[in-house]
Amino acid sequence: MALIVAKFGGTSVASPERIQNVAKRLIAMKNEGNDVVAVVSAMGKTTDELVGLANALNEHPSPREMDMLLSTGEQVSMSLLAMAINARGYRAASFTGWQAGIVTDSTFSSAKIQEVTAERIKAKLADGAIVVVAGFQGLTEDGEITTLGRGGSDTTAVALAWGIDADVCEIYSDVDGVYTADPRVVPRARKLDVISYDDMLELSSAGSGVLQSRAVELARKFGVVIHSRSAFSDAPGTLVKEIDMFMEQAVVTGVAHDTSEIKFTIRDADDVPGVAAQVFSALASGSVNVDMIIQNVGENSHTDISFTCPKGSKEEAEAIVKRIMPRIGGRDYVIDENIAKVSLVGTGMKSSPGIAAKAFSVLAENKVNILMISTSPIRLSIVVEGSQCQVAARCLHEAFGLDSESVFEETALSPEEIAAKMQKGR
Ligand code: ASP
Ligand code: MG
């Protein structure tokens, strides 16, 4: 018997049928003798639709009203799920974020959780009910409704798991765990049984989108064990937890890729103190999230500076670069929109020399041209031309011993098709 927090994403509650499936699953957990708290996202693409509605009426809606609006999505799914559980003869109670005791700061649209006082949840559990909590939302001390940022239900789930001291925080989605690479790009990717918080965080920030990074950070901070698994099958997924430092670990845990960034190069900027400071302070104050930076060795008192940032920040970044060009003496700038970042991630890299050398040799053998390089103690990222993303990811995956014997073939299946396959198999 365990205390389980189980989070279901938008896809898993997208229709009445799917909500039924979630209800069945929760009831099965309950019947096995567990105490169960479900956290749900809004149905399907509801949040996007609500954003669309808001923008149809106001291009710049006030953050407070936006959170009032977006928080309704999760309230629909939480109450429907509780009703579905009731209809099967089991007790259930749904709670909004504030009823669940989730207190946040007052940063609308990306509020941070400050406290979880889950008294009402505990009381309902003691009563024998299955508790359902609306993800993604909380309440400030002044009684304002806030949301936690897109994908924030994962964060709700982890915070609640910590707040009620759950044994595990299960995060159900349409993928069945964390893979050594995205199977759509690297068909020989393998599902990992377990991964450390550090590796998971590096993989997420390097572009692997299974779990929200903030949720993983929170889980690491409080030692909450996450189980990332499929909402459409009973197969165990991937555990995200602290890994014993004495445990034998693979040097490289996974290969991530990210095609969501673009590269700016400022040519022939003055090679004097303060130039980089000016460029990156201006970008920071324009809220452009800069990822990689390269500055070349100066020549004739001039130097090139390159950086990458999200595609979505292109206009903002370009306006800023244009504006400061005269101040830093830059000759011109170029934007490369067709790039991909491929990263090798692994805590084991810390104690293994020669990873970079091996990676670069493999890339050279496969005729992949490297445009930029950046490293952390447990990550090696390279930027390549967009068209070389797959080759780069595949050859690195193979070279570092991550390839599985079998080729992933379910990538073309929709969640419905996977569910249908599962039913047949039973
Ligand atoms: N419904 C919110 C979103 O779509 C929160 C979540 O799904 O976790 O971003
Ligand atoms: Mg979502």
18-65: pLDDT as tens digits: 999 999 999 999 999 999 999 999 999 999 999 999 999 999 999 999
Q: Note the pLDDT tens digit of each residue in 208-235.
A: 878 888 999 999 999 999 999 998 889 9
HSE at residue 180, side-chain half, CA atoms within 13 A, is 24
Among 156, 208, 194, CA closest to 393: 208
- Ligand 1, from 150, 218, 228: best to mutate by most atoms within 8 Å of Cβ? 150
Higher pLDDT, 184 or 141: 141
Q: How many residues does the chain have?
A: 426
Q: Where are the beta strands (DSSP E) in 296-369?
A: 302-310, 332-336, 339-345
**Predicted local confidence at residue 123, as pLDDT:** 97
Q: Note the pLDDT tens digit of each residue in 71-99.
A: 999 999 999 999 999 999 999 999 999 99
Helix, coil or strand: residue 21: helix
Dist. CA 150 → ligand 2 center (Å): 7
Q: Where are the beta strands (DSSP E) in 271-405?
A: 293-295, 302-310, 332-336, 339-345, 370-376, 379-385
Dist. CA 212 → ligand 1 center (Å): 10
Dist. CA 140 → ligand 2 center (Å): 22
* CA angle, residues 17, 23, 29, in degrees to nearest 5: 145
Instruction: Indicate the pLDDT class of residue 338, thresholds 50, 70 and 90.
Output: very high
| CA–CA dist 251, 350 (Å, integer) | 8
Q: Whose CA is nearest to atom 5 of ligand 1?
A: 151
* Binding pocket residue ranges, ligand 1, CB within 6 Å: 9-10, 41-42, 47, 73, 135-136, 150-153
**Predicted local confidence at residue 353, as pLDDT:** 85
Residues 6+ positions from 245 with CB-CB distance below 8 Å: none
* CA angle, residues 109, 112, 115, in degrees to nearest 5: 135
- Smallest-distance ligand from the CA of 150: 1
| CA–CA dist 219, 421 (Å, integer) | 33
* Burial grade of 305 (CB within 10 A; 0-12, 13-18, 19 or more): buried
Residue type at 356? A
Residue type at 71? S
Residue 425: pLDDT above 60? no
| CA–CA dist 388, 340 (Å, integer) | 8
- Average pLDDT of the residues in 186-209: 91
- Average pLDDT of the residues in 278-298: 92
The conformation of residue 168, written as its DSSP 8-state character, comes to E
Among 77, 70, 76, CA closest to 55: 70
> How far from 202 is each of 223, 226, 337, CA to CA, in Å?
17, 16, 23
**Predicted local confidence at residue 414, as pLDDT:** 54
- Smallest-distance ligand from the CA of 171: 1
Q: Whose CA is nearest to atom 6 of ligand 1?
A: 151
Q: Note the pLDDT tens digit of each residue in 402-423.
A: 999 888 765 445 555 545 544 4
Scanning 127-194, the segments in alpha helix (DSSP H) are 153-163
pTM score, whole prediction: 0.85
| CA–CA dist 76, 99 (Å, integer) | 15
- Average pLDDT of the residues in 276-284: 96
- Smallest-distance ligand from the CA of 7: 1
Residues 6+ positions from 300 with CB-CB distance below 8 Å: none
- Smallest-distance ligand from the CA of 134: 1
User: Is the Cβ–Cβ distance between 131 and 37 less than 8 Å?
Assistant: yes
Dist. CA 276 → ligand 2 center (Å): 37
- Average pLDDT of the residues in 351-361: 92
Among 128, 172, 130, 178, CA closest to 154: 172
Instruction: Say what percent of the chain tops pLDDT 90.
Output: 83
Dist. CA 152 → ligand 1 center (Å): 6
Helix (H) or strand (E) holding 265: strand 261-270
Atom of ligand 1 nearest to the CA of 154: 8
- Token representation of residue 369: 């041209």
| CA–CA dist 195, 193 (Å, integer) | 7
**Predicted local confidence at residue 417, as pLDDT:** 56
**Predicted local confidence at residue 352, as pLDDT:** 84
Atom of ligand 1 nearest to the CA of 48: 4
